[in-house]
Amino acid sequence: MKWQIAIKDYQHYLKIERGLSHNSIESYVRDVQKLIVYLEKHHIISSPIHIDKNKIQSFIYEASKSINAKSQSRLISGLRSFFSYLVFEDYRKTNPLDHIESPKTGRKLPDTLSVEEIDALIGAIDLSKRYNNICIGERNRAILETLYSCGLRVSELINLNMSDLFFEEGFIKVTGKGDKQRFVPIGLNTQNYINIWRQERTKIDVNNEYKDTLFLNHRGSQLTRAMVFTIIKDLAKAIHLNKVISPHTFRHSFATHLLENGADLRAIQLMLGHESITTTEIYMHVNRSHLKDVLLQHHPRK
């Protein structure tokens, strides 16, 4: 069995059987391709069926010289998934990654913004600047309000359609990882800012494939992830915010602020679209001083 045939079958499995998104599939495949590059570089002739643990360990050892522990752990996980698939399909009897341990990476707590910092970022948006008579500032305000009030991933934000807005019911339909859909509550203020942007959007000559896409650039095409990052980076610079932030920071802040104000962890999990509650539990560690205050306020033996 050749590597490229194995990868093609693996991609099909990830898409059809696992229901993963295009980006997730590409990430898994890149891990295997890095191994192939290593084998070719060292003139090692070995098929995915016959490659052994020693060759894999040599590859991981070389890779570890140029990547951090988190990336190394991700690489091992990706390769383990690939070879598990080969075992599942009876191409191999064993997984050469079974006894290779991932490095301990620790648990990185997410960065968050205070409500005041979020207000300052949104307040720094220039609502006077126009492109082709379109107020892009209204779009940017709606973007930040939506990221924070709904806890969206940036990929979910840029793929949000106007047909996904159910304002009368107070929800938006979000398509997350693996094309899994969920309904997320949306507040009246955010609805208002989106509606203001929708009025501006009518002035854009929209490309046919993006007729339903909510957030567009002034040329009528879908926004890129990089563009949303740039918008936020420029606003942080404008208010001299001494933090490195990204669209994901608003998602972290959404979850943290809900938890601090007494929201149920299970409800936060559903709104964030986390498959496992253990992923959401990281927010329990973000603000220990708040948890102490809750105990002192509510526990009978304080």
Q: Which residues are catalytic?
A: 153, 177, 248, 251, 274, 283
Find the angle CA(45)-CA(81)-CA(9) to the nearest 5 degrees.
70
Place of tokens 């990204």: 246
d(CA 190, CA 287): 26
- The amino acid that residue 223 corresponds to is L
What the block records as the tokens of 123 is: 């307040």
- The amino acid that residue 120 corresponds to is A
CB distance 139 to 200 below 8 Å: yes
Residues 6 or more apart from 299 whose CB is under 8 A from it?
Answer: none
202 phi/psi in degrees, rounded to 5: -65, -15
d(CA 9, CA 51): 18
* Maximum distance among all Cα pairs of the chain, rounded to whole angstroms: 69
Burial environment of residue 23 by CB neighbours within 10 A (0 to 12, 13 to 18, 19 or more): exposed
Of 75, 77, 73, nearest to 104 (Cα)? 73
189 phi/psi in degrees, rounded to 5: -60, -45
